[in-house]
Amino acid sequence: YTLFVSFFPQLIAGPIIHHRDILPQFQALEVTPTNRKTFFPELFEHVAIGLTIFCLGLAKKVLLADKFATIASPLFELADRGELLTIAQAWSAAIFYTLQLYFDFSGYSEMAIGAARLFGITLPINFNSPYQAVSISDFWRRWHITLSNFLRDYLYIPLGGSRSGNVYLNLFLTMLLAGFWHGAGWTFI
């Protein structure tokens, strides 16, 4: 339990994992005289895959998200000072902020997944090309997958989900609590 709670790769930026998904992986990492010959070659494979995923996530964060921020942030600062933006500036701010947000979250998640894989632990994917979604519901199935699963399993379904009670109230309460989880300000709600 202590290892699960303190396993650092996913602690800050996710993905959100359930103990039932990771504890068996911790137990499988034990080196014994019977698995010694297969354990170390598998470990080298985990390290190679982990470094690749980590580097891809780092590239998303540094090369993409941070660059998009240099375009979006000044435009939001202009608007914050009360200056009127042109239509092109407003659309640019919205689009580049959207890309910055995605590549930040996706990059951090991939860095966590890669870091965990260095230790032989496989974490679930957290983003599945959400901007290729064909509908809003498809988008939510692809965006921050582990948070959506957590909200579904621990809030929406216990509230009654779509089977009991007021479906819209259950959904509203779930999203309200998700807003509080992101930050205790009205902008998050």
Catalytic residues: 182
Whether 159 and 173 have beta carbons less than 8 Å apart is answered as yes
Using CA atoms, how far apart are residues 11 and 27, in angstroms rounded to an integer?
20
Which are the contacts of 23, defined by CB distance < 8 A and separation ≥ 6? 4
Contact 160, 152 (CB under 8 A): no
Given the structure tokens 């339990």, which residue do they identify?
1
